Structure 1
C-alpha cells in the first residue's frame, strides 16, 4: 500500500498484478476494502493490473472534516480520472461500489478519454437523497433496524467489529466477513476521532456532499463496455436500482448475485471476476 498525489489530494492505493498489464482501477465505497482481496487477486491473475483506492475522507486518503466536506461528487470523479494518469496509464477499466459507483459513472461521462470500461456494483443512477419515482428507495424496515441500534465506542476496535457483525444480516451480509472487514478498516483509520471512524465505517460523509447536477439523463451517451452487479438481497439500494442502471447504459451487462446484500461476498468472487475480465 502507498499514497499517490492526484487532483490535489493524497489517495491511498494498493496494487495487484504486473504494472505492464491493462489497468483496472477500483474506487472504494468508502474504503478500498469494499473490493475483496480475493477478487482483486483473481482479476490480476487474469492479466490485469488492479489498483484499488480509498475515497477522500476514508482509509489512507486525505482526511479533512467528514462532517463538513469541501468537495463534491465531481471532485471524486476527477480524482479517479487524474489517478489513472498518475498511475502512468492512458485509460482504465473503472469500477465503483456504492457512492464510488456514482463517482465512476460521472467519471466515465465527464472523462470518456480515460475510461475504457465500467463496472458498477451496488449503486444507482442518482445521488444520495430522495430517489426518482421509478427507483426503489432504501428498505425502510431494514434502515430502521440499522439506525435504531446503539452506536459503538468508535475508539474500541473490538466494539466496532462486533457492531458491524451484529448488523450484517440486516444488510444481507455475512457477519464474519463484516466483522473482519470492519476491523481492518479500523486499523487503517488514521485518527481516533469519532467522525473519521464513522466516515470510514459508515460512509456518512457522502450524504453531505453536493452531487449536482444530475447525470442519469446522460447515461445513454456512454459507449464503453459496462457491467452492472447487484445483490438480490441488498436493502440499501434494492436490486431495482441496478436493473434500471443496466437498462439505461447502452448494451450494459447485468449480473444479479442471489443472496448478496450490500457487501460482495467471498463466494461471489469467481463470478464477478469472470464477468469483469470479459469487458
Structure 2
C-alpha cells in the first residue's frame, strides 16, 4: 500500500494542510490545484501513478480552501505571488529544495510564477488547463458577456454554454448542503465538455468532500479576486523559463479554450505542447487521471 502522511506547514501566519504520498527518497512532485479547489482535487488515481513511478508526491490545500487557513480578503488581500509563496512554504515544510511543479488552471499560473521568479525551486514545469500568467482574461469575458464579438487579437473567452451556465447558477438556491452540491456538480459537468464521458460519481464525491472538508466555502471565492489582479511580477517574460516545460490542454476546454495553452507553449522556450483530445477543464472522466499521470511521470524524470 502506498504510504500517505499528512503534515501542517506554516506560510507566514497561515497554516496549510499537506499530504505526502509515495517514496520519500524519490524526486518530489508538487501538485498545485486551481481556483477554489483543495488538494483532493488531484485524483488518487493520478497521485498513485506518480507514486508507483518512484516519485514522492505532495498535494496541499491552498489558503482559503480545505483544512488550510481562511483569510479576510478585505483586510488582507493577496495576489498570485502570495499563492506562490505558499507553494514554496509547502516545499520548505517537507524539506524539499526543488521539485517537479505540476499546476492545473490557476495552479498552472502559480507554476509559471515559480519557474520565472524562483527557478532554483523548479526541476520541471507541467502546466495544465491554463494560459500565460501575464494575460488578463477580463476584456475577453467583458466582450462576451455584453454580446460583442471576440477581439481577434486576444485569446478567446469561455464558451457561450459556460457563460450561460454561470448566469443560470447565480439564480440557483444554494442555502443547503444538497443545493450547494447540486449546483457545483452541474458546474463540473459543464466544465467537462461533451466529448469525454463525465464521471458523475467521482465528481460528486469530490464536491461532497469539499463541502465537508472546508471551513468556509465562501472564502475560496477569494481566489478569483487574487487571480484577476495583474501585478507587475506577472508580466515578466516567460522566455526566461529554463525548466523543461510541458503544456497540456484539453481540446474541449470551455473555460480556457485550446489557444490559451498554445499561447503559453509559444512563450516558453523549448516547451512541449500536448493537446489532450476531448478533455475539458476537469479531471472527472473515467481513465483521464491515469492517462495524465502517465504523461506527467514521463516528463518528471
| TM-score normalized with structure 1 length | 0.88
Alpha-carbon distance between aligned partners in 2 of 1:168 and 1:90, rounded to the nearest angstrom: 35
Alpha-carbon distance between aligned partners in 1 of 2:40 and 2:255, rounded to the nearest angstrom: 18
Structure 2 partner of 1:129: 138
- Larger mean CA deviation between 56-65 and 248-257 belongs to 248-257
Contact kept, 8 Å, 1:39 with 1:270, in 2: the verdict is yes
The answer as to 2:293 corresponding to 1:273 is: yes
Tell me: CA distance 1:144–1:24, structure 2 relative to 1, closer, same or farther (3 Å).
Answer: same
Picking from 269, 272, 277, the partner of 1:253 is 272
Alpha-carbon distance between aligned partners in 1 of 2:161 and 2:202, rounded to the nearest angstrom: 23
Within 5 A, what are the aligned runs for 1:144-155?
A: 144-149=164-169, 150-154=171-175
Gaps of 5+ in 2: 1-5, 141-150
Alpha-carbon distance between aligned partners in 2 of 1:61 and 1:47, rounded to the nearest angstrom: 28
Tell me: CA distance 1:263–1:80, structure 2 relative to 1, closer, same or farther (3 Å).
Answer: same
Structure 2 partner of 1:206: 223
Q: CA deviation at 1:59?
A: 0.9
Alpha-carbon distance between aligned partners in 2 of 1:102 and 1:237, rounded to the nearest angstrom: 13
The answer as to 2:199 corresponding to 1:179 is: no
Q: CA deviation at 1:199?
A: 4.1
Structure 2 partner of 1:222: 241
Contact kept, 8 Å, 1:42 with 1:273, in 2: the verdict is yes
Tell me: CA distance 1:237–1:68, structure 2 relative to 1, closer, same or farther (3 Å).
Answer: farther
Contact kept, 8 Å, 2:62 with 2:83, in 1: the verdict is yes
Number of equivalent positions: 270
Structure 2 partner of 1:9: 14
Structure 2 partner of 1:99: 106
Structure 2 partner of 1:33: 40
Within 5 A, what are the aligned runs for 1:108-127?
A: 108-125=115-132, 126-127=135-136
| TM-score normalized with structure 2 length | 0.82
Gaps of 5+ in 1: 191-195
* DSSP-derived class of the 2:179 partner: helix
Q: CA deviation at 1:67?
A: 6.1
Tell me: CA distance 1:234–1:275, structure 2 relative to 1, closer, same or farther (3 Å).
Answer: same
- Larger mean CA deviation between 65-74 and 27-36 belongs to 65-74
Contact kept, 8 Å, 2:116 with 2:238, in 1: the verdict is yes
